[in-house]
Amino acid sequence: MRSRILLLATIMAAAAAFPQSAPVVLKVSTLLDGRGNVLHNTSITVQDGKITSVGDGASGAATYDLTGLTVMPGWIDTHVHIDWHFGPDGTITSQRGETPERAMLEIAGNAWKTLQAGFTTVQAVGSMRDKPLRDAINGGQVPGPRILTSLEQITNPGRGANPQPGATPHDLSPDELRAWVRQVKAEGADEIKIFASTGLGSGGKPTMTQEQLDAACGEARAQGLRSVIHAFGQAVGMAARAGCTSVEHGLMATDDDLRAMAEHHTYFDPQLCLVFQNYIDNAQHYPNLSPESLKTLHDAMPQADELLQRAMKVPGLKIVFGTDAVAGADGRNAEEFVCRVRDGHQPAMQAMVAAQSLAAESLGLSGQLGAIAPGMQADIIALAGDPLRDIAAVRRVVFVMKGGVIYRNDVPAPRTR
């Protein structure tokens, strides 16, 4: 017994004495710091998964030369459905009949595609299948973005955006909602997702009362969890007044609803194109979408452009970046930047920050993610091109580091003279 203790002590001493990994120096000519600043001709030093310094590692030899590229913090998508995928016959409906093993491989594939596209963190909203994926990624077994997940979606039975077939519509009591929030927390969720209105096709009417939203978002806050609310129209202002953390979608919101979000410090996550266009482009893979639904999705895009333009005029309203990426859209999340800038007229720097420091703030992770600064996680990407001049450069991610590990390096070798 004594020798075993001695052996354990020796191993622990060896672990403690194990030297830190050698620093990695990235040489950079253009750096967006994630907080709205541009730095030129600098360097980033990374050690043990974190950024240790910016600007004073230049004297040493560069480990990776990223000059000629635009370097920035990895993007954060605050609204994805990473478990959605097409099943064995290529349709969304056939995933119900597939094996769990095939499903998890498809889902792991979505995580890989998302990471390769420069998204180093995503908030899934959310499914029980996110949990093993999140934990496998955190454990280093599977490559993918950091995942936060709601695991479930809280909704009045038979109401909400996707009412369960056969469920008798009824309202949950405030106590039942509070209990559900606590249950989702106990299951290991990172945030709470709540349906406060119907889907777009059914007019986006409120599906919860003010009292219900007050109870659900209030309990989430009491439990230390953020609350992410699916809301259109009137439900937008209701969610803000309930003190919920963020409103997703928001079409049909009035200026009063937008001002209510600013007043109550509710983050706003509108979608302009990817989610709509993805359904339209993949209509054959979504057999449950009727021609009328497709028309609704098509018509939503100009409305969303107009909504973003109105939202940008509301003082103090914090507009974050989330795509609502569903099956077919994984790895194309950055398309949403292109629409925001070209169709919604958001300044490109604002669009970047929305997916960097502002998104991190909305997730309660300001101290760790979304900026290139000492102490932050080394989530760093590089683009061939400058998105501030041509937003389409977001499609050309050539370097991806997450937590100090490089997952993509297509940086062209320097030309010999």
CB atoms within 10 A of CB 86: 18
- 33 or 83: whose CB is closer to Zn ion? 83
Nearer to Zn ion, 43 or 150 (CB): 150
Q: How far is CA 389 from the centre of its chain?
A: 24
Q: How far is the CB of 262 from Zn ion (least distance, A)?
A: 23
| Closer of 324 and 336 to Zn ion (Cβ) | 324
Shortest distance in whole angstroms from residue 271 CB to Zn ion: 9
Distances (CA, A) of 267 to 59, 139, 190, 279, 280: 41, 30, 17, 26, 28
305/324 with CB nearer Zn ion? 324
Q: In angstroms, what is the minimal distance from the CB of 246 to Zn ion?
A: 12
> For Zn ion, which stretch binds (CB under 5 A), given 99-107, 146-154, 319-327, 356-364?
319-327
* CB closer to Zn ion, 229 vs 240: 229
Q: Kindly state the smallest distance separating residue 379's Cβ from Zn ion, in Å.
A: 23
Q: Minimum Å distance from CB 58 to Zn ion?
A: 43
Per-residue b or e along 311-328, where b marks 16 or more CB atoms closer than 10 Å to that residue's CB: beebeebbbbbbbbbbbb
- Its sign, for the CA torsion 391, 395, 324, 402, is negative
Strands 397-402 and 405-409: antiparallel
**Nearest distance, CB of residue 303 and Zn ion, angstroms:** 17
- Residue choice 219, 257, 324, 379 for contact with Zn ion (CB under 5 A): 324
Smallest gap, in angstroms, from Cβ of residue 365 to Zn ion?
20
| Residue among 191 and 324 whose Cβ is closer to Zn ion | 324
Kindly indicate which of the ranges 196-204, 296-304, 323-331, 352-360 contains the residues binding Zn ion, using the contact rule CB under 5 A: 323-331
Considering only residues 354 through 373, tell me which ones interact with Zn ion, judged by CB under 5 A. none
Q: Which stretch binds Zn ion (CB under 5 A): 54-62, 173-181, 195-203, 322-330?
A: 322-330
The answer to whether 342 and 302 are in contact (CB under 8 A) is no
* CB-nearest residue to Zn ion: 324
The residue with tokens 């309203």 is: 317
- Footprint on residues 190-229 left by Zn ion (CB under 5 A): none
Site string for Zn ion, 106-125 (x = CB under 5 A): --------------------
Least distance CB 344 / Zn ion (angstroms): 19
Query: Could you report how far apart the first and last alpha carbons of the chain are, in Å?
Result: 66
Rounded least distance, CB 242 to Zn ion, Å: 19
Report the C-alpha gap between 248 and 321 in whole angstroms: 10
Q: Does 336 bind Zn ion (CB under 5 A)?
A: no
Nearer to Zn ion, 324 or 379 (CB): 324
Cβ nearer to Zn ion, comparing 43 with 227? 227
User: With CB under 5 A as the contact rule, which of the stretches 254-262, 318-326, 336-344, 362-370 interacts with Zn ion?
Assistant: 318-326
Measuring CA to CA, how many Å separate 326 from each of 31, 128, 218, 275, 285?
31, 16, 29, 7, 12
Task: Tell me whether residue 156 or residue 357 sits nearer to Zn ion (CB atom).
Answer: 156
Cβ neighbours for 73, distance < 8 A, ≥ 6 positions apart: 32, 33, 34, 120, 356, 357, 369, 370, 371, 372, 376, 379, 380, 381
Pick out residues in 243-302 that bind Zn ion (CB under 5 A): none
Please say which residue, 126 or 387, places its beta carbon nearer to Zn ion. Answer: 126
| Residue nearer to Zn ion on the CB measure, 204 or 387 | 204
Q: Of 113-121, 320-328, 336-344, 375-383, which part binds Zn ion (CB under 5 A)?
A: 320-328
Q: What value, to the nearest 5°, has the Cα angle with vertex 136 and ends 133 and 140?
A: 140
CB of 44 to Zn ion, least distance (A): 34
Q: Which stretch binds Zn ion (CB under 5 A): 169-177, 295-303, 316-324, 407-415?
A: 316-324
How many positions of this chain bind Zn ion (CB under 5 A)?
1
Q: Which residues bind Zn ion (CB under 5 A)?
A: 324
